Structure 1
Amino acid sequence: MAQQAYMTETDNQGSGHEPRGTRIRRLMSRLANRLFAGGRDGRGIWRRGMVLTALAVLVGLIMLLHAQVPNTIGNSGSLIETFLPWLGVSVPVLLVLALVRRSATALIAVLFPAIVWLNLFGGLLGDKAGTGGDLTVATHNVNADNPDPAGTARDVAASGADVVALEELKTSAVPVYEKALASTYRYHSVQGTVGLWSKYPMTGVRAVDIQLGWTRAMRATVTTPEGQVAVYVAHMPSVRVKMEAGFTARQRDKSADALGEAIADEKLTKVVLLGDLNGTMNDRALNGVTSQMRSTQGAAGSGFGFSWPASFPMARIDQILVKGIEPESSWTLPETGSDHLPVAARVSVDTSS
């Protein structure tokens, strides 16, 4: 009787051994049934998760068509573009929710924002840094309320940069920075709240009018061993997120246009822009500048290179942009007493080889 019962249960004429492939297929079938079988409400895997599906499509469309989001209400378009990479965080969240909901439709829909994000930012995930270059530049918004300006100056100089731009220089702190950097940089100039320090001779130094009423941008010709470079330093006006007005950046946008015009009128063919632009390369408001120049981080960096806020960087608003010069590597420097991280880049001024 026991033998007969066993033969009946196994249904394989008493062999007692089920092929391994059959067991695996049966386990996979059970798993699929548990994940996707219709519930008590009678809806199957294709009808569940319609809200998740809609959210996935919406996120994908926002990333794909971000340039079409209007700025008429609270500069919402620029706000989205400032933090655009972070929309990618929604992809794994939506994926997990789709699995929990057991929705095949939502799972497929999540592919849409995932593909769009990878198309936009996938190139930043790898390390594109090279080993060449004949000039190292750095920029740092040092923060007017920096408790240790001397230490911050030494930290930036330790990067080995040949040319250093500093922004948000408080008048009372300027002598501290000048003293701390004097032994490393023979040449320097401070214009308003921005300054430039160089190991190589500087000529043609002047303030650049970015329509603020006071000086927050400058230009100088730096004569490197490989030739002359026009170096611009700029600190764009801050943007604000206000409950009653949304993302307010009108003055920043006006200043960015003025800076773009100044760079377009530059006579030298080799140009470097260093500074806190208070905007990312995705922000349409900076098109007057970014349409002319390349980001060293985007061309030769590793990762996103977020620089602000220093305690938990979420956006790269401190920029090194070049024109007529080849980026070789780009990186962020260690945290200082500022709320921004310094950023640096190695570039090739001599592009003939």
Structure 2
Amino acid sequence: MAQQAYVTETDDGGSGDERRGPRFRRLVERLVDGWRGDPRIWRRGIVLAVIALLLALVMLLHSRIPNTIGNLGSLTETFLPWLGVLVPVLLVLALVRRSATALIAVLLPAVVWLNLFGGLLTDKAGTGGDLTVATHNVNADNADPSGTARAVAASGADVLALEELKASAVPTYERALASTYKYHSVQGTVGLWSKYPLSGVAAVDIKLGWTRAMRATVATQAGDVAVYVAHLPSVRVKMKAGFTARQRDKSADALGEAIAEERLGRKILLGDLNGTMNDRALNAVTSQMRSTQGAVGSGFGFSWPASFPMARIDQIMVQGVEPLSSWTLPETGSDHLPVAARVSLATSDS
């Protein structure tokens, strides 16, 4: 028996397939209706075109924006990816204004943004690896330190760094993590928990007057790794002073010097750096280490604030170690999200 082909009929007797094409063409024609023969499409929207060009220049030349006034350069770089939100807004306005000039101009910031951040939109995660690491600013005012500790331990991390540890809460974290991690050390307000033996534990002076950074040698099955934990000073946005980050910048330079002087070839930095990888103020660190999120993460990996992440200020960075995957962990009782990464030590030099 010959097979019959069935189609879905529309109200006017045509098939769905037959009607789809004409309907789309009519939509396009309606969208551009009124543009044909209108000489003003090139004269309208000049202001929108100028705004689009300025947006492209800000993204393209962000490193040239001076920090002399309220650290405006660093402030721009902290939220640089979010400038891309303005592109579709300008596109819609250009369509509403029926401006060909504005439409063409909007292409420039779109291309610049994709060149800067397009690579972050793809999933670059690999498989395998020797070591899983995680870091979390637990928040000194965390109402459930025990639950937070169990949540990050459930990530499967072999090495876990915690920042902003309140002295009175340290015993709670120690008890909650004792069954997962045999070795640990707390220095000031930062701590390191590990399934592998620790040695060479020491505070790292980041010019604060109290301890908010440390280093330790982790004796993994693939060899020794120098692990640094740091919580750089917070930045502030003030009405008169702008983006104030002088102490953060000073501490970043000190941390960069300590890492540069590290004798071990394999280095991992875990912590809340209160700055993004785009922020020039962290150059002392970022110039010598790779971000696991930037190298093998999927998406931007924003970690702060936890309720609506807008920036990745919690970082995992490596040198002499091959990153394979990087991701954010579910929200805990903190105002930061935990972040984790999987790395390979097998092909790195000790």
Moved beyond 6 Å, runs of 4+: 24-30
Q: Structure 1 CA distance, aligned partners of 2:90 and 2:31?
A: 21
Deviation at 1:260, TM superposition (A): 0.2
Per the alignment, residue 194 of structure 2 pairs with 198
Aligned residues: 329
**CA 1:221–1:234 in 2, change beyond 3 Å: closer, same or farther?**
same
Q: Structure 1 CA distance, aligned partners of 2:196 and 2:127?
A: 22
Deviations 1:31-57 (A, max 9, x none): 53414654xxxx611110011001100
Whether the 8 Å CA contact 2:41–2:101 is kept in 1: the answer is yes
Counterpart mapping for 1:42-57 below 5 A: 44-57=40-53
Per the alignment, residue 34 of structure 1 pairs with 34
Q: Structure 1 CA distance, aligned partners of 2:138 and 2:93?
A: 42
Per the alignment, residue 253 of structure 2 pairs with 257
303, 306, 311: which one pairs with 2:307? 311
192, 209, 223: which one pairs with 1:213? 209
Per the alignment, residue 179 of structure 2 pairs with 183
Q: Structure 2 CA distance, aligned partners of 1:277 and 1:207?
A: 16
Is 1:346 the counterpart of 2:342 in the alignment?
A: yes
Is 1:245 the counterpart of 2:245 in the alignment?
A: no
Whether the 8 Å CA contact 1:36–1:44 is kept in 2: the answer is no
The one-letter amino acid paired with 1:217 is A
Whether the 8 Å CA contact 2:187–2:203 is kept in 1: the answer is yes
Counterpart mapping for 1:1-353 below 5 A: 32-35=32-35, 38=38, 44-351=40-347
Q: Which runs of 5+ in 1 are unaligned?
A: 1-20
Deviations 1:45-90 (A, max 9, x none): 1110011001100000000000000000000000000000000000
**CA 1:167–1:30 in 2, change beyond 3 Å: closer, same or farther?**
closer
The one-letter amino acid paired with 1:239 is V
Deviations 1:181-229 (A, max 9, x none): 0010000000000000000000000000000000000000000000100
Q: Percent identity?
A: 81
The one-letter amino acid paired with 1:54 is V
Deviation at 1:163, TM superposition (A): 0.2
Whether the 8 Å CA contact 2:304–2:313 is kept in 1: the answer is yes
**CA 1:47–1:214 in 2, change beyond 3 Å: closer, same or farther?**
same
What secondary structure sits across from 1:272 in the alignment? strand
Deviation at 1:145, TM superposition (A): 0.1
What secondary structure sits across from 1:34 in the alignment? coil
Deviations 1:329-351 (A, max 9, x none): 00000000000000000000112
**CA 1:117–1:25 in 2, change beyond 3 Å: closer, same or farther?**
closer
Q: Structure 1 CA distance, aligned partners of 2:79 and 2:27?
A: 43
**CA 1:148–1:29 in 2, change beyond 3 Å: closer, same or farther?**
closer
What secondary structure sits across from 2:308 in the alignment? coil
The one-letter amino acid paired with 1:32 is V
Whether the 8 Å CA contact 2:322–2:348 is kept in 1: the answer is no
Whether the 8 Å CA contact 1:306–1:314 is kept in 2: the answer is yes
